[in-house]
Amino acid sequence: MGRLFGTDGVRGVANADLTAEMALGLSVAAAHVLAEAGTFEGHRPTAVVGRDPRASGEFLEAAVVAGLASAGVDVLRVGVLPTPAVAYLTGALGADLGVMLSASHNAMPDNGIKFLARGGHKLDDELEERIETVYEEHRTGAPWDRPTGAGVGRVREYEEGFDKYVAHLVAVLPNRLDGLKIVLDEAHGAAARVSPEAFTRAGAEVITIGASPDGLNINEGCGSTHLGLLKAAVLEHGAHFGVAHDGDADRCLAVDHTGDEVDGDQIMAVLALAMRERSALRSDTVVATVMSNLGFKLAMEREGLKIVQTAVGDRYVLEEMKEHGYALGGEQSGHVIILDHATTGDGTLTGLLLAARVAETGRTLRELASVMERLPQVLVNVPDVDRSRVGDSAELAAAVSEAERELGSTGRVLLRPSGTEPLVRVMVEAADIEQARSVAGRLADVVKSALG
């Protein structure tokens, strides 16, 4: 059997890959593993369970709640809320465990289960592996030790979660948003109520699109993966800017008043300078991945800030931030982590802080984002090659060295084997798009001949 847990929990097509039986079994396994680890020692355990609006979330939530309660865990059902809201509430309510049902930016048929540890942090890899092992052992026959009578978990709705989370978001803002007109694209997802409420309470005039989830339309032609509707709405309403979330609202991308995209790198650049002004950017350092645009790195260095780069994936960014106490990190995709106020990427918080900076400075988002110039970036996927030999080919190493010499300090090359497919990704950045295309094309040819 392949490993169930990926980089962001267990994910797959709901009712095919991810069934009710699996959701129930994993939840019982999680309860037993955390009990073994001493998490529940000396008290009756509590879990916070939330979901995005996908139709499949209804039956999967029922399965998770049943599994936890059958294992003696009391459950607070918070309903449809963003992933970062479930993480926040897990910490704020002193719960032993958080569970979020979502497949984030994936299409509607998919769903996923993400377990959160006490405090709202991602479970350690070892605990996830142990949950998977225990789940498999019991799936193939070993009976569970089940509580009876008063020992079974109790389930109640925790409707206060919405207000508690929104109040937290507004409370961390350094200033109000009065005078701003902002378009919010909620991707028909988990933040459809939360995000407009938070922006409105903070003083902004809000226009919403993609805020009518029906269980089937999540991420459909809208949200952070499809910015066309947001760009049109910003121009139509003469808004100061627009903000787009994904299905579980842990990401945020923006669109300036002219309709141009402002990506995660630019958002981090704006927030980094704002946080430095407030002495909130610890060690004057931002954590980014190797896929962040070279323009971001050059801009931060020009501003006297340090960049620490990690492998691609928000989990690696978060690990680096926690280990060294850094306050800001994220990815080009808009997954931005502000560790003083959130344990995970929080798209609503990111959008609010971006808006606060616009309101505070009186400058447009376009002007603020111009602190960095996005260098042209060309990505070529080379299929049907042996991705395991990327680091072993002398021919490829020579071609990369030659390309780096040609590009100089205003360009770079990155070769990444895909984690899931037999292909290698060739990424080239350069000050000139034609040069980037030319170098990427040449390198892709060498990858084919050397690794094919």
Q: How far, CA to CA in Å, does 71 sit from each of 74, 87, 138, 175? A: 9, 22, 13, 45
Choosing from 339, 369, 399, the residue where a domain stops is: 369
Q: Could you tell me which residues are annotated as the binding site for Mg(2+)? A: 104, 246, 248, 250
Contact by Cβ (8 Å): 45, 31:
yes
CATH number at residue 313: 3.40.120.10
Q: Which of 342, 369, 396 is the last residue of a domain?
A: 369
Considering the domain architecture, whether residues 72 and 192 belong to the same structural domain is answered as no
Look at residue 297 and tell me if it is in a domain.
Answer: yes
Tokens of 422: 């037999």
Q: Is residue 12 domain-shared with residue 103, that is, in the same domain?
A: yes
Of 26, 30, 23, 15, the residue nearest 61 (C-alpha): 23
Angle at 143 between CA 140 and CA 146, to 5 degrees: 140
The binding site consists of: 104, 246, 248, 250
Task: Compute the chain's Rg from CA coordinates.
Answer: 23
List the structure tokens of 446: 């060498």
Residue that terminates a domain, selected from 103, 137, 161? 161
Provide the β-strand partners of residue 276: none
Overall domain count for the chain: 3
Same domain, 295 and 179: yes
175 CB-side CA count, 13 A: 16
Do residues 343 and 91 lie in contact, with contact meaning Cβ atoms separated by under 8 Å? yes
Residue 98, in any domain of the structure: yes
Residue 167 lies in a domain: no
Secondary structure of residue 134 in the 3-state scheme: helix
Instruction: Say whether both 195 and 120 belong to one domain.
Output: no
DSSP 3-state of 413: strand
* Same domain as 177, residue 144: no
CATH of the domain at 431: 3.30.310.50
421: Cα separation from own chain's centroid: 22
Per-residue pLDDT of the chain (452 residues; tens, 9 = 90+): 457 888 778 999 999 999 999 999 999 999 999 999 999 988 999 999 999 999 999 999 999 999 999 999 999 999 999 999 999 999 999 999 999 999 999 999 999 999 999 999 989 889 999 999 999 999 887 789 999 999 999 999 999 999 999 999 999 999 999 999 999 999 999 999 999 999 999 999 999 999 999 999 999 999 999 999 999 999 999 999 999 999 999 999 999 999 999 999 999 999 999 999 999 999 999 999 988 999 999 999 999 999 999 988 888 999 999 999 999 999 999 999 999 999 999 999 999 999 999 999 999 999 999 999 999 989 999 998 887 788 788 888 899 999 999 998 889 999 888 766 778 899 999 988 999 999 999 999 999 888 87
Q: Do residue 386 and residue 362 come from a single domain?
A: no
82, 207: one domain: no
Provide the b/e sequence for 37-68 (b: ≥16 CB within 10 Å). Answer: eebbeeeebbbbbbbbbbbbbebbbebbbbbb
Tokens representing 411?
Answer: 């360009």
Structural domain contains residue 166: no
| Same domain as 392, residue 358 | no
Three-state DSSP class for 168? helix
**pTM, rounded to two decimals:** 0.92
What amino acid occupies position 44?
Answer: R
| Domain of residue 396, residue span | 377-451
* Burial class of 362 by CB neighbour count within 10 A (0 to 12, 13 to 18, 19+): exposed
Catalytic residue among 27, 56, 102, 104: 104
104 is catalytic: yes
Tell me the C-alpha to C-alpha distance, in Å, between residue 1 and each of 54, 131, 136, 420: 27, 14, 10, 16
